[in-house]
Amino acid sequence: MQLPIRRANAHRLAVACSSDRGGMGPARRILSQQVRSRVLLLIAAWPLAITPVNAAGMPKLTLPQLIQIAWQDNKDLQAVRHAVEIGRARLVQAGLYPNPRVEISRNDDSLFRNQGDYSGSVTLSQEFPIAGRIQHQRDVARVNVALAEAEIEDAERRLAGEVAANFYRYVVLDRQIAVRDYLIDIEQKLARITRDRLHAAEVSELDVNTVQLDLQRIQQERARLLTEMQTLVAALNQQLGRPASSPLELDAAVPEIESLDRLELQQARALDLRADLRMAMLEADRAGAEKALARAQRWEDWAVGIGMEQNRLAIEGAPRLRSDRVLMLRLTIPLPLLNRSQGAIAEAEATGRRATAKIAALKLDIDSGVASAHTEASRLEELLRQFEGGLLPIGERNAELARRGYAQGLVSIFEVTLALRQQGDSNVAYLDTLDQYLGALVRLHTAVGDYNARMATAGPAPEDNREED
């Protein structure tokens, strides 16, 4: 993909269009020749604006590497991953049976020097779920673990989209700043030319001031873009789990225009890949498991106990009597007469209906999101190809023809200015379209949810970059 110019202010060269006027004296002709030479140098330097950044200063981290680092080190994503650990711990707890109980009792009237009964007992009891409560608890817990895993995948999808959006914005900003640097150089040279022509009485002071104001405007634009770049780098560092001020070097090469698959294929793929849709389906499964658990909880756990009781009668002044010992068996059966989990069952049923409705709504939302992003990306793709196939080459060709014609004295500076202005406008529109296209492409891949698959073959990030964390 060709690196374009963000904006060309070469139209300010129109201030020099009076160079073709006649009737100049020798001194003015000498000065005009010097100015013409400077203009020729200025025009000849124009193609430098679309030269890629020097390879020695090229950033290093690619988009796949950025996404991998974010998936590994992003603090919010790490917090989401802990939910899986919590779910697995709850799964273990859900499968545990109640602990047995030991009950010890003692009644002794002799402690108060009374005659009467002495008794003591020891009972061991155990509760037993009789309606499959433990298994149903485990079923609910398993679904919760699957939900937590799907939540991680969905968080990775959204994080990848956010990183990609910031990365591509960085790519465009990098070009916009480079263009401003070139335009500042152009305007500075143009300012010197107009001042020289002012001394030759070929332009007015207004023309000189106009160029100076335009130079200041471009410098302010560059400062604004640099501020946006710093903010963007800070946001990227946060997504990578790094301090905002950490140095960040990116491979800001413009990606090739991507040939998109048919909309129907993208929509079908999204329904298959989107983790949030899988989460909605799992919520429906959990509602079913919770309903089964609520039905099982209508029958509370039975309790079985075994123990021994010892009784003895103590009479004052009489010999100590032999104790009576009794073996006890105990069975506790709660009766589901009042609490039959009616509310819990009704809640689970309503939750299931809500989950089903959510699935249907989410499918429509996914189809709509994919269609919207696909349509926009396809339209912008065609515009970019039009730029690269005709508008940009024609603009460059016209600028070159104007440069040669001006050097041969065949065209006026006004015609040169018009050609450069048209080339600049084309590059402005190109970069704007590129920015929109990359944003639409990010939205499409985020809507489809295929960043995981796209990053699967990416190489690891450089070790020196990870150590900067």
Candidates 305, 272, 287, 267; CA nearest to 344 is: 287
- Name the β-bridge partners of 310: 120, 325
Burial degree of 193 (CB within 10 A; 0-12, 13-18, 19+):
buried
> Contact 50/4 with Cβ under 8 angstroms?
yes
Of the given ranges (96-105, 319-328, 366-375), which has the lowest mean pLDDT? 319-328
User: How would you list the strands of the sheet with 116-128, edge to edge?
Assistant: 101-108, 116-128, 302-314, 324-332
What is the rounded CA–CA span in Å between residue 347 and residue 134?
20
- Over residues 124-160, the pLDDT tens digits come to 999 998 888 999 999 999 999 999 999 999 999 999 9
Residue 288, number of CB atoms within 10 A of its CB: 18
Q: Report how far residue 297's alpha carbon sits from residue 213's, in angstroms, rounded to the nearest whole number.
A: 80
Q: What is residue 21's predicted lDDT score, i.e. its pLDDT?
A: 38
| CATH code assigned to 27-104+129-284+358-467 | 1.20.1600.10
What pLDDT sits at residue 15?
35
Say yes or no to pLDDT of 437 above 60: yes
Q: How far is CA 165 from CA 5, 13, 116, 236, 435, in A?
A: 21, 37, 87, 10, 10
Residue 267's pLDDT band, with cuts at 50, 70 and 90, is very high
- Residues 15, 266: contact at Cβ < 8 Å? no
Cα–Cα distances in Å, from 221 out to 169, 184, 218, 226?
16, 10, 5, 9
Considering 114-128, 157-171, 383-397, 422-436, the range whose residues carry the highest mean pLDDT is: 157-171
Question: Of 357, 437, 369, whose CA–CA distance to 171 is shortest?
Answer: 437
**In the 8-state DSSP scheme, what is residue 75?**
H
Contact by Cβ (8 Å): 411, 39: no
Task: Supply the pTM of this predicted model.
Answer: 0.75
Tens digit of each residue's pLDDT (9 = 90 or more) over 11-70: 333 333 333 334 444 444 443 454 444 444 444 444 333 333 444 444 478 899 999 999
Percent of the chain with pLDDT over 90: 41
As a whole number, the mean pLDDT across the chain is 78
**DSSP letter assigned to residue 389:** I
3-state secondary structure of 301: coil
Element of type H or E holding 239: helix 205-239
> Residue 260 in contact with residue 374, Cβ under 8 Å?
yes
Please report the pLDDT score of residue 46 as a whole number.
40
**233 sits in which H/E element:** helix 205-239
**In the prediction, which pLDDT does 164 show?**
93
What is the per-residue pLDDT across 334-353, written as a single tens digit (0 to 9) for each? Answer: 888 888 889 999 999 999 99
Give the pLDDT confidence of 158-169 residue by residue, as tens digits.
999 999 999 999
Burial 233-258 (b: 16+ CB within 10 A, else e): bbbbbbbbbbeeebebebebbbeebe
With tokens 């400062």, the residue in question is 223
Over residues 105-119, mean pLDDT:
66
From 461, 415, 465, 469, select the one nearest 67 (Cα to Cα): 461
pLDDT of residue 378: 92
Higher-confidence position of 56 and 283: 283
Question: For the segment 446-463, what is each residue's pLDDT rounded down to a tens digit?
Answer: 999 988 666 644 545 555
> Using an 8 Å Cβ cutoff, are 419 and 402 in contact?
yes
Tell me, what amino acid is at 362? L
Using DSSP, state whether 56 is helix, strand or coil.
helix
DSSP 123-173: EEEEEE-SSSHHHHHHHHHHHHHHHHHHHHHHHHHHHHHHHHHHHHHHHHH
Distance of alpha carbon 193 from alpha carbon 37, whole angstroms:
10
Compute CA 466 distance to the chain's CA centroid, rounded to the nearest angstrom.
Answer: 19
pLDDT of 197 higher than 50? yes
So what's the pLDDT on residue 408?
Answer: 67
Residues with Cβ within 8 Å of residue 410, at least 6 apart in sequence:
none
